[in-house]
Amino acid sequence: MEQMNNKIFNKKTIKPIFVFTSLAVAVVIIFILLINIWGKTERSLDDFLVDVPGMPPLRVMQMEDLVNDKKLLTNIGDGYQITAPKNWGFNELVSLEAGLQIRFPALETLSSQELMVESRDGLLLNIRTLKNENQLSITNWLVKAGGSEEFAGDSKFKEVKHPAGVALRSQNTRKDEDEQPISDSTLLYYVIGNKEHIYIFTCSISGENFSELTQQCEDVIQTFEILE
């Protein structure tokens, strides 16, 4: 009889305890989600900008380390995010004119000469953001709005699929000051946009492993997302 009572007691007590524990876990999860939502909505755009006299505000890049040796870069001011290998170099403040620069290999010093991939082997990915004032498609922007002036004269674009939508892509060999092709080099362009912004990607690559770096640059560009 005592064993039977214990079994009945266990069945009667375990079920309420399980229900209570489940409810407690659910409440904690909801609370954490609400904190995250409140944290995001309370921050204004001004929190991600740095005022500089005589020029547009600098954009503050939000950087988050991911578990797969990647780094998530978020530009709230210009409305995008992109993922790149963690060991690449990034500038934490982004000017509207110069845009975001992603480099491999990373540089310890950031002099103007060292930032240019032309002076060294490696990869330099630049992302510039322009206002799409007339809400043009990227093709119409390229043709009608003088967008072709942003690129090398012999650049020929074709439409390609991208997770953010239709993109324009062009790939050429880099040229020196005398307009002669540079061996073991690539100049890669992408154009992605929406009704608010046009995003211009320029990936300049040189060195014996330029083919591998070109593919890596393509892979990084494929992670680009426009924030709504």
pTM for this predicted structure: 0.75
Q: How far apart are CA 227 and CA 224, in angstroms?
A: 10
The DSSP-derived string for 25-53 is HHHHHHHHHHHHHHHHHH--GGGGEEEET
- Cβ contacts of residue 99 below 8 Å, gap of 6+? 126, 127, 128, 129, 200
Q: In which residue ranges of the chain is pLDDT below 70?
A: 1-46, 108-120, 145-146
Report domain extents, the chain.
1-42, 46-226
CB-based contact 155:189 (threshold 8 Å): yes
Pick one of 2.60.120.1690, 3.50.50.60, 3.40.50.300, 3.60.21.10 as the CATH number of 46-226.
2.60.120.1690
Each residue's pLDDT tens digit, 157-185: 999 999 999 999 999 999 888 889 999 99
Contact 152, 187 (CB under 8 A): yes
The pLDDT of residue 154: 78
What's the DSSP call for residue 57?
A: E
Amino acid at 93: L
How is residue 136 written in tokens? Answer: 């043009």
Q: What pLDDT score was predicted for residue 155?
A: 87
| Contact criterion met (CB below 8 Å) for 168 and 158 | yes
Tokens 């990084």 -> residue: 220
Residue 6's pLDDT is 46
| The predicted structure's pLDDT at residue 143 | 87
pLDDT of 153:
75
Q: Is 55 helix (H, G, I), strand (E, B) or coil?
A: strand
